[in-house]
Amino acid sequence: MSAGAGTSPFTQIGQIARSHGLKGELRVSFDTDNVQSIQQLQMVYLRNARGDFFPCRITHLRVEGKGNQQLFFVQFETIADRNSADSLKGKAIYLETEHANGLNLWKEESALTYDDFEIINEHHKHIGLVTDEMDNGAQLVLSVATTSGTLLIPVVEQFVEEIDEENAVIRCKNLDLLEGN
């Protein structure tokens, strides 16, 4: 089954909460309580700094009950130490959309985050990916990883033209005013 026009081939199914231990294990929050389906996962996808999806093979997944919630701990094949695991904190986890449909994902319960949204300029040129959000009281500010470093973009009309939540894209304008050239 292939994704139709306008449909993303990948669906976010969770997020890496933090590292756990010294051997690269990660605590993961999944957007479902379907434990059996999660335990069957062998491969998920992450996004690199350019926004490309890349596969991560799961070598070990364990579930622990704590109070009335399930905690998931995942070991990826390519993550062997805490430093590597720490670099993934906050990253979204994706699954191919055709496989994610069986997970009964929670759609509305988690707050919207712009992490991993692609930033493009008014000429549709890729600028970078959102790595963090900060609320300074006056407006939301996006921290964007670019090829030349980090760019801070206030979410105001002067700089943000459109936010496409379905495709995880934010179209910006006037970014040259922020670059300090």
User: Using one digit for the tens of pLDDT, what is the confidence trace for 99-126?
Assistant: 777 776 655 444 567 888 999 999 999 9
CATH superfamily of 10-103: RimM (2.40.30.60)
Residue spans per domain, the chain:
10-103, 118-177
User: Using one digit for the tens of pLDDT, what is the confidence trace for 21-40?
Assistant: 888 898 888 877 777 888 88
Question: How many C-beta atoms surround the C-beta of residue 52 within 10 A?
Answer: 9
Cα dihedral 157, 116, 166, 8 in deg (nearest 10): 150
**Burial 143-173, CB ≥16 within 10 A → b, else e:** bbbeeeeebebbbeeebbeeeeeeebbbbbe
pTM over cut 0.75: no
Phi and psi for 72 in degrees, rounded to 5? -110, 130
Instruction: Report residue 70's pLDDT band, with 50, 70 and 90 as the boundaries.
Output: confident
Sign of the CA dihedral with 169 first, then 175, 178, and 181 last = positive
| pLDDT (average), residues 138-150 | 87
Instruction: Report residue 98's pLDDT band, with 50, 70 and 90 as the boundaries.
Output: confident
**Domain 118-177 is of which CATH architecture?**
Roll (2.30)
